[in-house]
Amino acid sequence: MDYRFCPYCGHALKMPSGEKEKSRCSNCYFVHYNNPKACVSAIIQRRNEILFVQRAHEPFKHYWDFPGGFLEAGESPEAGLRREVREELQIEIEIYKLLGAYSDTYGPGGESVLVVYYICKTLSNSFHPREEIADAKWFERRRMPHELAFNHLLAVLADWEKYSKRLLANQSAK
């Protein structure tokens, strides 16, 4: 989000030449850093399927995404992920592995986000999507949805595929 005025003294913020990630107040010297917001998402696996959720609201209403959301202040990524999945699908998860962190933008203002992805499994056999989820479905590895909500999801799926192939290779070598 771009701030035009200092939240402390109300003077205009200026972006120094050559800087694009921070603005300064010439009156009180406050610095606003345009840092990304932290988000978490779960790749919930079941055999060779993963669970996608269809978004019920904008941005990207009716597009497919992974369950997850924004972290709350002071919340660990793992606790935030468990909370978000519980809120969205009313299930508990077991977190196996950190897959990676991916940059993207969110919302009409193009706010910068950093989404941390974990590979997980569900601890229950059924899920119950809440109000913010239009639908939730298991998709096979070869039949992923095409209407993906965010640009970074293709990189997430590619990394998940690499991880899955390495895991299978290691299991067959034993």
Q: For 7-59, what is each residue's pLDDT tens digit? A: 899 998 887 766 667 888 889 988 888 789 999 999 999 988 999 999 999 99
Q: Tokens 């060779």 label which residue? A: 48
3-state SS record for the chain: CCCCECCCCCCEEECCCCCCCEEEECCCCCEEECCCEEEEEEEEEECCEEEEEEECCCCCCCCEECCEEECCCCCCHHHHHHHHHHHHHCCCEEEEEEEEEEEEEECCCCEEEEEEEEEEEECCCCCCCCCCEEEEEEEECCCCCCCECCCCHHHHHHHHHHHHHHHHHHHHHC
Backbone angles phi, psi at 119, to 5 degrees: -90, 130
**Prior bond of 59 cis (ω within 30°):** yes
Query: Could you state, in order of their start, the residue ranges of all structural domains in the chain?
Result: 1-34, 37-173
Backbone angles phi, psi at 58, to 5 degrees: -70, 155
Q: Give burial (CB, 10 Å; 0-12/13-18/19+) of 100.
A: middle
pLDDT value of position 174: 63
pLDDT value of position 19: 64
Q: For 46-101, what is each residue's pLDDT tens digit? A: 988 999 999 999 999 999 999 999 999 999 999 999 999 999 999 999 999 999 99
Residue positions counted in the chain = 174
Look at 168 and 58; give whichever has higher pLDDT.
58
Q: How many CB atoms lie within 10 A of CB 114?
A: 16
- Whether the per-residue pLDDT at 130 is higher than 90: the answer is yes
Q: For 110-128, what is each residue's pLDDT tens digit? A: 889 999 999 999 998 899 9
- Whether the per-residue pLDDT at 1 is higher than 60: the answer is no
- Whether the per-residue pLDDT at 169 is higher than 80: the answer is no
Predicted model pTM: 0.86
pLDDT value of position 141: 86
pLDDT value of position 71: 98
- Which of 130, 20, 137, 118 lies closest to 71, judged by CA? 118
pLDDT value of position 133: 97
Average pLDDT for residues 146-167, to the nearest whole number? 93
Q: Tokens 């299978």 label which residue? A: 168
Mention the CATH class of domain 37-173.
alpha beta
